[in-house]
Chain A
Amino acid sequence: MTTTTTGRAAPTGKRRRSPMSVGAWPLLFIGPLLLGVLVFYYYPIISNLWTSFTATNAFGGDPKFVGVDNYVDLLNRPDLPSALVNTLFYTAVVLLGVPLSVVIAAMIELPGLKGRTIYRVLFFMPYLAMPVAIAQVWRIFFNGNFGILNQGLKAIGIAEPPYWLSTPGFAMLAVAFFGIWSSIGFNVIILSAGLKGISPELYEAASLDGASAWRQFRTVTVPLLTPSIFFLTIMTAIGGFQLFDGLYAMLGPGNPAINQSRSLVYLFYNEAFVQQNKGGGAAIAMFIVLLVGIATAIQFWGQKKWVHYE
């Protein structure tokens, strides 16, 4: 890893260097963060990468180099495809929360709307939640025997509503719902910050041109929010690939539906901490990094087409 490339004023010759990149300035700005990241994140990643090529005892001792065996084992796992599908499904559903949040944030920030403070607080509430406590409430809500949801469904004539938390498939939906519910508040706050950066004159100009509210939303709000939307899309996708806590909190251990609802991180956790296979777990972790890395790179590559800076 060469970190020396940062800001050493290397004469490039080709590009006219703007004064912003002269000398040590970039290093001064980035250095503190970089140092911390190297120590607390890169060392663990490297050690994880190394572990993925070894077989160790249950506590990580006696490492023996085994080459790519752990990766071969991973690709031969019969449960890998379903974990992949579950993770992608969850990510896709949670990503739907982003456009939803754009609409909500745009509504909340409508000029002249009363009660904005209350709405902001309401929609941000889920982000304040202690996940463990609040998942408990949602579990009662989704309860197949006595949950409010099913009582409501029965009231409107659905005789046998599903067991949301203990039926494979439905369980994933319930977990995804919980994921969206938890993330909307965060999205709205980021988008509100983005909306603050849009000057009111743009809207005034648009309404003078006779643009309808919807048209203003499409031609002014959304394009100017694209940096925030892009940020949220990336973050939500990364978060979606990391699905574990919500799954665990909503379905709990010992739920028969969890077999068909395992996510990639669940596999990792299970391999490293239940099967005591450190090397295998590390290989899954690296596989996840690779997968998310590719997905993120594609998004960065695609942003040129739709993200407008300033």
Chain B
Amino acid sequence: MKRRSFLAITGLAGAAVSLSACSGNTTNGGAQGDITKDTTAELTFFYWDKVQTPTVEANIAAFNKEYPNIKVSTSIAAYKDYWSKLRTQAEGDQLPDVFWMNGPNIQLYASNEMLAPIDDIKDVPWDSYPKALVDLYTVDGKHYGIPKDYDTIACYVNKTLFEQAGVPLPTDGWTWEEHNDAAKKIAATGAYGVVTTVGAADGQGSYYNTMFQAGGYVIKDNLSGFADPKSIKGLKFWADLIADGSMPSLQVMTDTTPPKLFAAGKAGIYWAGSWMVQSLMEDLADPSQYTVVPLPKDEVQATVIHGLSYVASAKSKNLAAAKALVKAMTTKEAAETEAKNGTAIPAFNGTQQAWIESVPDWQLDVFTNGAADYSVPYPVSKNTAAWEDLQLQILPDAFAGKVAMDEAAKKLAEQMDALLAKE
């Protein structure tokens, strides 16, 4: 992995754990050796994406081939309800044995002893997953989750609009200047140059990337990076696009979401994650008129990487069985099943090909190459949601040009530091 050194230093900065399962002395709830194919147990498993039900069921069936007497019952909620439900279960000592976890919540759950450390699971090929994700789910030097899938960000482009504006299609290594020039020329033809979820304060899909590209950072050593001049440059990128008309106002993009504007053929460039591939394929009238290109670079190339993992509850009554399930759901075979489903990029190295080939025209390897070559971990802390909410409160007005970005960024940094200090 070619990874710039400063990118490795993030809020996660978990002491990199040596890759062999190293916890000699933690044997809570029995090591894996305790379960055999005759083990009888009941496990509950909780996840949030109905689209992925076939994958989940196929992988549980594979698990049951090995352990026929471990019954896994699944439950499901929509993403927006998942976290409130999980929290209620956590407070009521009713956490499911195994469930999906994401970056913003991992430290919250792990540091409050809701999750079981899983260093004692034997033979987990930790170096077969993107390091950024393994680190993301490492808290205080202990592994808590095995990566399931990942996503990175790229630019979806409308070839027709580029042609009409007389702009060449972007290539790998294109710069901010080229991006802005293209956006401006497309806007001059009456379409929108570029659309993003910047107004929803969705840093992952927009400004986190530009902050990293400009050489800035979001959080480091539990301190906010928003006031860093380079970070501010990355934020201003968006305010400038709105100011010069290359990007529609936040209101336009709030009332009709960017993917809808893009799918309707009204926007030249759309910054978004790999998770949009499937739904765009369904919504676009003629997918061959579109393609995917890497994000433009400034000082460096960068794209935010994030992914889900499987975790086990610390209070599971069948912890050994739960850990076996976590492992079974993240094996190479499970990842291959995942790849066929096509919803997300499987995290296990070498299984992504099926996903890449799901849309041959689009060169989806842009997403996987980005992950391998220049990805930056999704920035998190113990209570990520708290300062993400601050961003929604402070940044939109600055993107819209109502307040100066420098002031907004400094104010955000101050308030964010206050929250981080409380953690």
- Please determine whether A273 and B255 come into contact, CB atoms closer than 8 angstroms: no
- Please determine whether A163 and B386 come into contact, CB atoms closer than 8 angstroms: no
B contact residues, range = 20 to 34
Q: Is the contact region of chain A dominated by helix, strand, or loop, or is it mixed?
A: loop
Min CB–CB distance A191 → chain B (angstroms): 35
Min CB–CB distance A15 → chain B (angstroms): 47
Chain A residues in 8 Å Cβ range of B13: none
Partner of A163, one of B84, B201, B255: B255
- Please determine whether A255 and B386 come into contact, CB atoms closer than 8 angstroms: no
Interface string of A106-139 (1 = CB under 8 A from B): 0000000000000000000000000000000000
**Contact A59:B255 (CB < 8 A) given known A254-B202, A274-B389, A275-B386:** no
Min CB–CB distance B261 → chain A (angstroms): 9
**Contact A276:B256 (CB < 8 A) given known A61-B112, A254-B200, A259-B396:** no
- Please determine whether B251 and A275 come into contact, CB atoms closer than 8 angstroms: no
Partner of B255, one of A57, A143, A254: A143
Min CB–CB distance A266 → chain B (angstroms): 11
- Please determine whether B200 and A255 come into contact, CB atoms closer than 8 angstroms: yes
Interface string of A236-260 (1 = CB under 8 A from B): 0000000000000000011111110
Interface string of A151-182 (1 = CB under 8 A from B): 00000000000010111000000000000000
B91 within 8 A of A: yes
- Please determine whether A274 and B385 come into contact, CB atoms closer than 8 angstroms: yes
B90 within 8 A of A: yes
B139 within 8 A of A: no
Q: How far apart are the CA atoms of A57 and B422 in the complex, in Å?
A: 11
B199 within 8 A of A: yes
- Please determine whether B255 and A165 come into contact, CB atoms closer than 8 angstroms: yes
Min CB–CB distance A77 → chain B (angstroms): 12
Chain B 166-200 residues near chain A, CB threshold 8 A = 197, 199-200
A255 to B, closest residue via Cβ: B254
**Contact A59:B112 (CB < 8 A) given known A254-B200, A255-B254:** yes
Partner of A165, one of B108, B200, B254: B254
- Best-buried of B80, B200, B250, B254 by chain A (most CB within 10 Å): B254
Min CB–CB distance A31 → chain B (angstroms): 29
- Please determine whether A275 and B112 come into contact, CB atoms closer than 8 angstroms: no
Chain B residues in 8 Å Cβ range of A256: 199-201, 250-251, 254, 392, 396-397, 400
Chain B 184-231 residues near chain A, CB threshold 8 A = 197, 199-202
Partner of A276, one of B108, B197, B251, B396: B108
Q: How far apart are the CA atoms of A147 and B256 in the complex, in Å?
A: 10
- Best-buried of B80, B87, B400 by chain A (most CB within 10 Å): B87
Min CB–CB distance A63 → chain B (angstroms): 12
Count residues on chain A whose CB falls below 8 Å from chain B CBs: 26
B383 within 8 A of A: yes
Min CB–CB distance B300 → chain A (angstroms): 28
Q: Is the contact region of chain B dominated by helix, strand, or loop, or is it mixed?
A: helix
Chain A residues in 8 Å Cβ range of B199: 254, 256
Chain A residues in 8 Å Cβ range of B385: 274-276
- Best-buried of A163, A253, A255, A256 by chain B (most CB within 10 Å): A256
Interface string of B100-112 (1 = CB under 8 A from A): 0000000010001
A58 within 8 A of B: yes
- Please determine whether A166 and B250 come into contact, CB atoms closer than 8 angstroms: yes
Partner of B252, one of A145, A270, A275: A145
Interface string of B129-156 (1 = CB under 8 A from A): 0000000000000000000000000000
B160 within 8 A of A: no
A144 within 8 A of B: yes
B70 within 8 A of A: no
B114 within 8 A of A: yes
B393 within 8 A of A: yes
A248 to B, closest residue via Cβ: B80
A60 within 8 A of B: yes
B400 to A, closest residue via Cβ: A256
Min CB–CB distance B44 → chain A (angstroms): 19
Chain B 381-401 residues near chain A, CB threshold 8 A = 383, 385-386, 389, 392-393, 396-397, 400
- Please determine whether A144 and B250 come into contact, CB atoms closer than 8 angstroms: no
Chain B residues in 8 Å Cβ range of A145: 252, 255-256
Chain B 78-93 residues near chain A, CB threshold 8 A = 80, 84, 87, 90-91
- Please determine whether B396 and A144 come into contact, CB atoms closer than 8 angstroms: no
Q: How far apart are the CA atoms of A276 and B388 in the complex, in Å?
A: 13
- Best-buried of B108, B251, B397, B419 by chain A (most CB within 10 Å): B251
Chain B residues in 8 Å Cβ range of A306: none
- Please determine whether A276 and B254 come into contact, CB atoms closer than 8 angstroms: no
Partner of B386, one of A60, A61, A143, A274: A274
- Please determine whether B201 and A254 come into contact, CB atoms closer than 8 angstroms: yes
Q: How far apart are the CA atoms of A275 and B418 in the complex, in Å?
A: 12
Partner of B84, one of A59, A167, A273: A273
- Please determine whether A270 and B389 come into contact, CB atoms closer than 8 angstroms: yes
Would you give 18 A-B contacts (Cβ < 8 Å), ordered by A? A58-B108, A58-B383, A59-B90, A59-B112, A144-B251, A145-B252, A166-B250, A166-B251, A166-B254, A167-B251, A254-B199, A256-B199, A256-B250, A256-B254, A256-B400, A273-B84, A276-B383, A276-B386
**Which 8 pairs between the two chains have the least Cβ-Cβ distance?**
A254-B200, A256-B396, A166-B254, A163-B251, A144-B255, A166-B251, A275-B386, A274-B385
Which residues from chain A sit less than 8 Å from chain B, CB to CB? 57-61, 143-147, 163, 165-167, 253-259, 270, 273-276
Known: A163-B254, A163-B255. 13 other contacts (CB 8 A): A58-B383, A59-B114, A143-B256, A167-B251, A254-B200, A256-B200, A256-B201, A256-B396, A259-B392, A273-B84, A274-B385, A275-B419, A276-B383
